[in-house]
Structure 1
Amino acid sequence: MTRVLLVDDDLELTAMLSQYLLREGFEVQAVHDGQAGVREATHGDYDIVVLDVMMPRLSGMEALRRIRASKQVPVLMLTARGDNVDRIVGLDMGADDYVPKPCTPGELVARIRAILRRTQRREEPADARGLAQLQSGQLVLVPGSRSATWQGQPLALTGTEFNLLEVLVRHAGELVSKEDISQQAFGQPLARFDRRIDVHISSIRQKLGARLDGQPWIQSVRGKGYQLLEE
């Protein structure tokens, strides 16, 4: 059974969402402040964390930062409707997605299932060493274990970052449209004004660093998409 950690100080909302999630076949643990959320997320065995931005004792952003420092569990942020700053900052800090509040239980469940589908381990044909690899120059991805190395060193990626980078590695040297990236990485069409791809790509660029010529390894073509440069 999929285990969901729900972190929100709105007791009425968490009770309603918990009941709905239980009816949908999820196992739910609810806590009501950021400190308790960090403690549960880092020490418990959860498949996904649903984390509100505005909470007492410890904000959702700080809770996200602390969770990301020790775990790569998928995180879905609950943000105030219309607050693009919170959404962009949350994605930049490693959140996998966000849902504006107030949200319906059905919308939340749909987002949770979408995140779990794209972050779960994918079965790949085994190679001689037991795990298939995708490689572009010194960048190596192993989809079966969802691990990555860059220039011979482990590369820490969130689940969403791994999915995005996997799409680009599979099309290394080619320009991939944002629409295609959204379909392949998120399993859904690109929404108008959705900046998730841009924010996550920016984070990946920082982790890869610059080329010898000072250019990023992932090039953008305005209004078109992104391209992972080959060696």
Structure 2
Amino acid sequence: MKALIVDDDFYSRNMIHEILRPVAHCDIAVNGEEAIEAFRRGLDEEEPYDLICLDLLMPELDGQQALREIRAIEKEFDVGPQTEAKVIVTTMLDDEKETHDAFFLGGATSYLVKPIDEEKLMTEVKSLGLL
């Protein structure tokens, strides 16, 4: 499995990386712009990401905007719904509007509230069929 961890907070990035490292090749981006560049590069090199853990609130380009752009790039590359990246939105906000927007406007697959718990993340990854 290939995973992209996108978070501006070092602790959160590191925690998710430590959890996923035994089961995935992990790349890290610290903002939405880096995430989009990494995602496009993965498709260009025919090594797409299976999983993206995406923080919603980040500087430069937030998670909502990055997710919309990632889904647009998948359309550009003719990636169908069955093979699109699974996106787990991770955020400190337990905000219904943010959740609604991530799912219905951005195409998120799942949602976890920080701090990320190993058991919850691994259960989610398994439920998405990635393990």
TM-score of Structure 1 vs Structure 2, range by shorter chain:
0.7 to 0.9
- Is there any run of 5+ residues in structure 2 with no aligned partner, and where? 43-47, 75-83
Specify the alignment match of 1:52 in structure 2.
55
- 1:8-67 deviations in whole A, cap 9, x for unaligned? 0111221122122113x2211111111001111222121111110001110000000100
Find 1:69's aligned residue among 63, 69, 72: 72
Give how far 1:81 is off.
Answer: 4.0
What TM-score results when the alignment is normalised by the length of structure 2? 0.81
Kept in 2: contact 1:34–1:60 (CA 8 A)? yes
Please tell me the root mean square deviation across aligned C-alpha atoms, in Å: 1.7
Task: Indicate the SS of the match to 2:52.
Answer: strand
1:31 aligns with 2:35: no
- The structure with the largest alpha-carbon Rg is 1
- Is there any run of 5+ residues in structure 1 with no aligned partner, and where? 121-231
Specify the alignment match of 1:101 in structure 2.
114
Kept in 1: contact 2:3–2:24 (CA 8 A)? yes
2:126 and 2:73 mapped to 1: Cα distance?
Answer: 23
Instruction: Report how many aligned residue pairs link the two structures.
Output: 116
Kept in 2: contact 1:79–1:87 (CA 8 A)? no
Specify the alignment match of 2:126 in structure 1.
113
More helix by share: 2
1:81 and 1:59 mapped to 2: Cα distance?
Answer: 13
- Bigger relative contact order (CA 8 A; separation at least 6): 2
Task: Indicate the SS of the match to 2:129.
Answer: helix
Task: Indicate the SS of the match to 2:54.
Answer: strand
